[in-house]
Amino acid sequence: MGSGRWSTDVYDAAERYRSASGTGAFAYSDRVTTSSPRASWAAHPSLDPKGLTVRESRDSAEHPVSLAIAVLFDVTGSMRQVPQVLQTKLPELFGLLLRKGYAEHPQILFGAVGDATCDRVPLQLGQFESDNRMDDDLGNILLEGGGGGQMSESYELALYTMARHTAIDCHAKRGRRGYLFLIGDELPYGKVKAREVREVIGDDLCEDIPLPRIVAELQRTFDVYYILPAGSSYAGDARVLDTWRKLLGQNVIELDDLDAVCETIALTVGLGEEAIDLRAGLDDLTDVGSSAAPAVGRALAPLHRDRGTVARGGAPLVDPAAGTAAGGTTRL
């Protein structure tokens, strides 16, 4: 997958058609949840992980230096609004990645996470796409809105699938990890359960896998980030933040404005690809007419201070909070 090119004109035309026809951006979810009993709900065939072999981000003549970017989000409870925000902000995300030169050939996969202990559809995974088919993947996501009410969701099942069912050329050919953003507000379960893997994906997994082990496996091929947005049930919760920080270190981002999620993802990629420093990225947001710069600056300042980066052209970065230069580190 990953052929074609993103077109804002095609996106706008699809939006106009939906508006004129009275069709929502998440037509599959609207149809299933309003016309079918919950016991019959199922993932759209294009997103169903049962029997999944591999999701691929591959180089091609059209995209010779592909970069894999995965965005997975919790669709339980209050988090159901996340895909709706992502869908409306897709042009801004691609505008920053492409026009500002953060990534020349991004290939984006969207997925959704629920709770395998109680939901009908605990995992949905699209393809890595370079063109407007990623909008189709978002539109095919079932917004189940379930969850078990126990402050945990099946994030670990999604991490397992991304670790063992993806093939990305940016890493295989160039030794550069892809990016994986997990947007949620709850705890993962402590282990990948073999029974759930068999039921949801179909892998003949013989034993449970401790969560830290599958995270370490995934981090061989992806830089993994957890984004906890404001307005969610457990925003700011110390237990949630501490748990994810033990797993991912500094790659835990608190975002005080959900509407800034696409800009946060874009600038995190730009920083990781050493295309910008944080100040230049915030200037880019202003340049494209985004109002998200303050929220993004607050969200990424801790990550920026902890890791550092090298600005475009090799200049030392400037910490926008402290106003001082900091040493750069190279992302591998």
Secondary structure string (H, E, C) spanning 75-121? CCHHHHHHHHHHHHHHHHHHHHHHHCCCCCCEEEEEEEECCCCCCCC
Question: In this structure, what token pair is assigned to residue 240?
Answer: 């949630």
Name the pLDDT band for 331 (thresholds 50, 70, 90): low
pLDDT for 316 equals: 37
CA 212, 103, 270, 266: dihedral to nearest 10 degrees?
Answer: -80
Average pLDDT over residues 102-131: 93
249 vs 3 pLDDT, higher one: 249
DSSP letter (8 states) at residue 314: G
Q: Answer with the residue of higher pLDDT: 253 or 233.
A: 253
pTM for this predicted structure:
0.89
Give the pLDDT of residue 319.
41
pLDDT-based confidence at residue 78 (cuts at 50, 70, 90): low
Q: Which of 20-29, 79-88, 90-99, 161-170 comes out lowest in average pLDDT?
A: 79-88
* 220-244 confidence digits (pLDDT tens): 999 999 999 987 877 888 999 999 9
* Pairwise pLDDT comparison (191 vs 288), residue with the higher score: 191
Beta strands at 123-125 and 252-255: parallel, antiparallel or unpaired: unpaired
- Per-residue model confidence as pLDDT tens digits over 272-316: 999 999 999 999 999 989 999 999 999 999 887 765 543 333 333
Average pLDDT over the chain reads: 87
Taken in order 105, 176, 189, 207, is the CA torsion positive or negative? positive
User: Can you tell me the mean pLDDT for 31-45?
Assistant: 92
Domains contained in the chain, CATH given: 8-274 (3.40.50.410)
The confidence band for 149, taking pLDDT boundaries of 50, 70 and 90, is low
Question: What pLDDT is attached to residue 309?
Answer: 43
What gap in Å lies between CA 214 and CA 194, rounded to an integer?
13
Mean pLDDT within 243-269: 95
